[in-house]
């Protein structure tokens, strides 16, 4: 019998807890919290997904899953009350005796985690790790400094990223005609101002990531850094699918299901009167 403790312990070896950033730690967000309780909780079916959306939770319920493994948490910030969709999701999880485990920022930085999976999908050559200071005072290898095989400009790089990730719309900040040199690749939405400052200091002029806060994007622009943002989930999906494939092999007696998290927004170009 595979227990929740078995899986949690194994996940901690894949995504070291000391790699936590911005409070986004790996943890059992819903379910047994102690080692003893987790060791007594059997797991026969697991759903892996980037974000525990209502549809993902419903799918886990239909699949009779005991555990949901996600990259993003159910609750981003501490809450003092639960209402609306949050209440529906939580009730469904509790009603079906499911646990929910969040991979968090350690899985972004981990070897063969989200960022490495993104680099592989983009078919870039990883030159070195890009480190930043973590919540526990340790250096966290949150990104990878990469190069493309051929000499290209940013216009070509935008098309390359869009094609590899099947992205319909890319948000670009910078100079499309500028040649691409070193590229900082970071999955997810974790980049903040300290990383932009370090990027500039290390002479890196290009970033590929998920989404930046407006003030961080503005700082990158003012520092002369070109930024390619794919939008929510695109940069995280390859790493979560990799996790699903790995766990399916590691725990063959447990049934794993992958649920794809898809962005729901489109970029619409308004037309002017008379057109």
Domains of the chain and any CATH numbers: 4-106+236-259 (3.40.1390.30), 111-229 (3.40.1390.30)
Sign of CA dihedral 72, 103, 129, 126: negative
* Side-chain-facing half-sphere of 198: CA atoms under 13 Å: 16
DSSP for 33-101, written as a single string? -SHHHHHT-B--EEEEESS--HHHHHHHHHTT-SEEEESS-S-SS--S---HHHHHHHHHHHHTT-EEE
Mean pLDDT of all residues in 132-140: 95
Find tokens 């622009």 and name the residue. 221
Whole-angstrom Cα distance, residue 51 to residue 247? Answer: 18
pLDDT number for residue 41? 96
**Both structure tokens of 221:** 């622009």
pLDDT number for residue 114? 98
Q: Which residues touch 149 (CB under 8 Å, ≥6 apart)?
A: 123, 125
In the predicted structure, residue 207 carries a pLDDT above the cut 80: yes
Which residue in 193, 192, 186 sits closest to 207, CA to CA? 186
Name the pTM for this structure. Answer: 0.93
Q: What is the pLDDT of residues 222-239, one digit of tens each?
A: 999 999 999 999 999 999
pLDDT number for residue 85? 80
pLDDT number for residue 273? 61
In the predicted structure, residue 81 carries a pLDDT above the cut 90: no
Q: Which residues touch 74 (CB under 8 Å, ≥6 apart)?
A: 29, 30, 52, 86, 89, 90, 100, 102
Whole-angstrom Cα distance, residue 160 to residue 142? Answer: 22
Average pLDDT score over the chain: 94
CB contact at 8 A, 5 and 35 = yes
In the predicted structure, residue 274 carries a pLDDT above the cut 60: no
DSSP for 114-128, written as a single string? HHHHHHHHHTPEEEE
Q: What is the pLDDT of residues 61-77, one digit of tens each?
A: 999 999 999 999 998 77
Q: What is the pLDDT of residues 86-95, one digit of tens each?
A: 888 899 999 9
Mean pLDDT of all residues in 152-157: 97
Q: What is the pLDDT of residues 96-110, one digit of tens each?
A: 999 999 999 999 999
């Amino acid at each position: 019998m595979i227990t929740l403790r078995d899986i949690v312990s194994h996940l901690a070896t894949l995504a070291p807890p000391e790699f936590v950033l911005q409070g986004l730690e790996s943890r059992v967000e819903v379910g047994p919290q102690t080692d003893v309780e987790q060791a007594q909780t059997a797991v026969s079916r697991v759903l892996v997904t980037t974000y525990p959306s209502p549809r993902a939770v419903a799918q886990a319920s239909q699949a009779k899953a005991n555990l949901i493994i996600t990259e993003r948490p159910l609750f981003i910030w501490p809450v003092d009350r639960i209402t609306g969709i949050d209440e529906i999701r939580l009730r469904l999880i509790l009603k079906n005796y499911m646990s929910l485990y969040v991979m968090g920022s350690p899985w972004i930085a981990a070897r063969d985690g989200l960022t490495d999976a993104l680099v592989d999908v983009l078919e870039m050559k990883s030159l070195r790790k890009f480190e930043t200071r973590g919540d526990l005072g340790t250096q966290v290898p949150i990104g990878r400094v990469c190069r493309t095989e051929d000499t290209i400009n940013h216009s070509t790089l935008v098309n390359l990223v869009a094609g590899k990730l099947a992205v319909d719309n890319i948000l670009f900040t910078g100079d499309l005609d500028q040649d691409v040199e070193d590229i900082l690749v970071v999955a997810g939405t974790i980049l903040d101002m300290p990383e932009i400052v370090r990027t500039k200091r290390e002479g890196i002029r290009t970033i590929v990531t998920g989404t930046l806060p407006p003030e961080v994007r503005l700082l990158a622009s003012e520092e002369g850094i070109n930024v390619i943002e794919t939008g929510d989930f695109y940069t995280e999906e390859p790493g979560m699918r990799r996790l699903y494939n790995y766990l399916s092999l590691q725990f063959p007696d447990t049934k794993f299901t992958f649920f794809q998290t898809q962005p729901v927004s489109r970029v619409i170009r308004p037309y002017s009167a008379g057109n």
